[in-house]
Structure 1
Amino acid sequence: MKILGIDTSTVACSVSLLNNEQLISKFELQPRKQAQLILPLIDQILKESSLKLSELDAIAVTVGPGSFVGLRIGISIAQGLAFAYSLPVIPVSTLATMAQGAYRQYQAKCTIVALDAHMEEIYLGVYEIKHHLAIAIQPDQLCLPSKVRIQNAPWFVVGDAWNVYHTDLLSSINPQQMVADFYPHAQDLLTLAKEAYLANNMLAVENLQPNYLRGTEAWRT
């Protein structure tokens, strides 16, 4: 099983490659530089693994919600490579990827992911770990931070919205632990993508679409 994972859905940028049992990852936190970084990172990781793009079985990519520009970069790269080498694609939620990362790094089994969506709204994901995988308790959503209502649990919370809308979010949620400066990582994307690959939950590249959770006409230029 050889899967390339790409994430540019936030201010971070990462690439991971699963080559059977070997996993190689690269991560950069350089806002607004994803377009310059992503292809060199892919080239570097392929060289380190001595693999060619033509030897891949699939390409996985975070499809949102997240940064409009960042999502377009990652999805465009995934589409271009998949078209060129006739590969299937595996779309994965940005918020699920972050919940999976919280489990990997902090053993968090109940995670609320909240990203600043601007316009005084947030992207909200609520996840629990089952069989070592992040599973959505409810669909990812766009909402007002003041309207979040979630049943009490030992929540681990991540994402920049916890800094931006701290007062509103904490009025209804009492987290056990908070890591606001937390970003998706392609390593965790591949954990979820591997299960999708084994279950044959893949798409033809022409069916790959971003999940903005907001109409594109609402985005500020």
Structure 2
Amino acid sequence: MSKSPPGTPSVNLLAVDTATEGCSAACLTGDKSFERYAVDPQGHSRTLLGMVEAVLAEARLERSALDALAYDAGPGSFTGIRIGAGVAQGLALGLEKPLLAVSSLMTLAEGARREQPGCNSVLAAIDARMDQVYWARLRSDPEAPGHWRWDEMPCVSEPREVAVPISGCTGVGSGWDRYSDVFMGDRPMPWLAQRFPHALDVAAIARRLLAQGASGAWHEAVPVYVRDRVTG
């Protein structure tokens, strides 16, 4: 269990993340947060519902007490995104609660800042297979949706085509684990190794979106595949 930053709005929120190799569920209630996380690329469908029940039990919440739900909408693994979307959509529809879709790349940026306070400019990259990466560049901005502004919008490209800034940015995501040498060339920059999105960060962003007036309409909470060719 951890505590949320002071001044955050009180909401009971459940979030799930299965967009990459990591699988997680998180619950925010009042100023407390609870998460279950595991790296289990082939086990998301077996593991996720158990994680959901575990965090709700630890938070001492019934499903009916939830105010909203959120999930990592991608980009990432097509199969993984569909698993998370199916669970979140099923719960939201059954409970008639708002549902928010959060970008995996924004989630990575949020996680980088959570682990390293002051990390306010992030180049997030996820290994998309087929010698490509999903990537985006984000900057912390309290006025932007979720408190993150897109300096470069999410896209998919070859690693050599990623627009890496000269300085002032931190790299994060599985794309960096595989292609850091290509990204940096002869311009070293800090990056965080072996990082996957966490549901805890999905939840933090979703809570801000709700506070900023997001409707949580089910038809708006759709997956973001970025490309239309299946990669697993």
Q: Do the structures match in fold with TM over 0.5?
A: yes
Counterpart in the other structure of 2:157 = 143
Q: For residues 220 and 66 of structure 1, do their structure 2 counterparts lie closer, same or farther at Cα, with a shift above 3 Å needed?
A: closer
User: Aligned with 1:190: secondary structure?
Assistant: helix
Name the SS for the 2:74 alignment partner.
coil
Distance between the aligned counterparts of 1:39 and 1:27, measured in 2? 12
How far does residue 189 in structure 1 lie from its aligned partner after superposition?
1.2
Query: Counterpart of 1:63 in 2: which secondary structure?
Result: strand
Contact (CA 8 Å) 1:148, 1:172: kept in 2 or not?
no
- Structure 1, residues 76-122: CA drift from partner, whole Å, max 9, x if none? 00010011110110111001011010001012121111111111111
Q: Percent identity?
A: 28
Asked if structure 1 preserves the Cα contact closer than 8 Å seen for 2:129 and 2:231, the reply is no
Q: 1:136 Cα shift?
A: 1.9
TM-superposed deviation, 1:18: 0.9
Query: Aligned pair count?
Result: 218
| Aligned partner of 2:37 among 20, 23, 27 | 27
The answer on whether the counterparts of 1:150 and 1:172 sit within 8 Å (CA) in structure 2 is no
Structure 1 runs (4+) greater than 3 angstroms displaced: 131-134
Quickly say closer, same or farther: Cα 1:134–1:30, change in 2 above 3 A.
same
CA-atom RMSD in angstroms: 1.7
CA distance in 1, matches of 2:78, 2:174: 16
Question: Per-residue deviation at 1:26?
Answer: 1.2
Query: How far apart are the structure 2 equivalents of 1:185 and 1:149?
Result: 25
What residue is the counterpart of 1:165 in the other structure?
A: 179
Distance 2:97 2:106 in 1: 23
Compared CA separation, residues 49 and 220, structure 1 to 2 (3 A)? closer
Q: Normalising by the residue count of structure 2, what TM-score does the alignment of the two structures yield?
A: 0.88
Give 1:95's aligned residue.
105
Structure 2: which 5+ runs fail to align?
1-10
Are residue 179 (structure 1) and residue 189 (structure 2) matched?
A: no
Aligned match of 1:111 in 116, 122, 130?
A: 122
Preserved CA contact (<8 Å) 1:100 1:133: no
CA contact (8 A) 2:133 2:158 kept: yes
| C-alpha distance in 1 between matches for 2:78 and 2:122 | 24
Deviations 1:125-160 (A, max 9, x none): 111223494332121111111112233222211112
Instruction: Tell me the distance in 2 between the aligned counterparts of 1:172 and 1:199.
Output: 41
Cα deviation for residue 203 of structure 1 reads 3.1
Farther-moved stretch of structure 1 (164-173 vs 77-86): 164-173
Match in the other structure for 1:209: 222
Shift in alpha-carbon separation, 1:200–1:172, aligned structure 2, 3 A: farther
Q: Which structure 1 residue ranges, 5 or more long, are not aligned?
A: none
Q: CA deviation at 1:173?
A: 5.3
How far apart in 1 are the matches of 2:227 and 2:182?
Answer: 21
Over residues 63-86 of structure 1, what are the superposed CA-to-partner deviations in whole Å (9 max), with x where a residue is unaligned?
A: 011111110000000010011110
1:45-74 Cα shifts (integer Å, max 9, x gaps): 111122111111110111011111110000
The answer to whether the Cα contact below 8 Å between 1:149 and 1:172 also exists between their aligned partners in 2 is: no
Q: Which amino acid aligns with 1:127?
A: L
What is the identity, as a one-letter code, of the residue corresponding to 1:203?
A: G
Question: TM-score by structure 1 length?
Answer: 0.92
| Amino acid in structure 2 at the alignment position of 1:9 | A
